[in-house]
A and B are shown apart, each in its own frame.
Chain A
Amino acid sequence: MAVKQTIAFIGAADELYTVLVKKLAQANYPLLFISNDGYRYQQLTDQIKSDIPNADIETTDCAKEACWEADIIALFDNTTLEKELIERISAVATQKIVICISTSDNHNLSSIQTKDLQSMLPNSKVIQVFHDISGLELLVSGADQEAIELVSEIFENAGFIITEKV
């Protein structure tokens, strides 16, 4: 019995967010949605659970608790990553993979953000994932090869195609 990684998500529930979490839920990854707007994320959870009855999803407003429980933390660049939030999760993100997810259009913006993120989370493994919103293709990049491989494997299990690993 393979134990699947629990993934915590921080970001606005836009189209990209919805596509990714639905596919990961379908691949049986336990998911934790972090939000101050519980109603909106609960709606998304209910919608996914109606399509995938055994989806393992929970919504919480406590980023630290969710990131403590998670094996992998996914941050979407559609939301402002406040320094205070990163400081709050820093202690529980040690040695964890932190994925910074953005659309291909935000490539440059995200690169800058990832550098900042890595300096704010020096003991985490920061990985960038770029998604082409029109398809299922992803580009994965980062400094830790093992983390790149694991993130690629997770998204491939969820039905995405990894076009490049940098």
Chain B
Amino acid sequence: MFELLHQKITETVSISDEDFEFCKTLFQPKKLRKKRFILGEGDVCKYTIFLEKGLLRSFKVDEKGAEHVLQFSLEGWWCADLYSFFTGEPSNYNIEALEDSELLLITKPSWDLLLERVPALERYFRILIQNNLIVTQRRLMGSFSETAEEKYNNLIHAFPDILQRVPQHMIASYIGISRETLSRIRGQMAIRR
């Protein structure tokens, strides 16, 4: 426990052993079984989640009952509905484990305390949120300008083993296409290879 978190933090900033020990006291370790939820639509997102092991998906269900995948999160990634986490407003989406997962959860008051006490982590989270903003903007632009095939290529570039870990209909939902279109794209790519 905590090794991957330490590794990820020290890839970006330096942190003393003492500060990291303090950091550990503020995280809640949580095992989440496959198909269980850590956040439900309508609940306030009380935690920012660090994923030590497993796979999560964030998704929304529309009024017709169709699921729309917003994000997949892998080991070493952070996951939350930041809008709900920072504002205390109910969340618009769900976070579900696609595999048995091990999480480290931190609440907003603990997060505030951590950033106040450990400046290195304030820097770490600033960089993290900055990178998240860049990725979000890039994805937003991509949703207007990229073809479905480009979106698929970007996804498998970012998550090389995603095809082995996630059902195809969820990948199609993430890209914003039908399962049939995804099959056609994969078929065309296979022929070209």
Contacts and interface: CB of A to CB of B under 8 A. Distances in A.
A104 interface: no
Bin chain B's interface residue count.
20 to 34
Given A91-B1, A95-B110, A2 B31 contact: no
A69 B33 contact: yes
A1 B29 contact: no
- Secondary structure at chain A's binding surface: helix, strand, loop or mixed? loop
Contact of B37 (A3, A68, A91, A92): A3
A43 B64 CA distance: 42
B30 A71 contact: yes
B28 A1 contact: no
B110 A1 contact: no
Nearest to B100: A69
A94 interface: yes
Interface string B129-155: 000000000000000000000000000
B38 interface: yes
B40 A3 contact: yes
A92 B2 CA distance: 11
A94 B94 contact: no
A94 B29 CA distance: 7
B25 interface: yes
A65 interface: yes
A123 interface: yes
A68 B24 contact: no
Interface in B27-48: 27-33, 37-43
Given A69-B33, A95-B110, A3 B28 contact: no
A66 B30 CA distance: 10
A96 interface: yes
Contacts of A68: 29-31
B9 interface: no
Interface in A1-58: 1-3
Interface of A: 1-3, 65, 68-69, 71, 91-92, 94-96, 123
17 contacts: A1-B37, A1-B40, A1-B43, A1-B94, A3-B37, A3-B40, A3-B43, A68-B30, A69-B30, A69-B32, A71-B30, A94-B25, A94-B27, A94-B28, A95-B26, A95-B27, A95-B107
Interface of B: 1, 24-33, 37-43, 94, 105, 107, 110
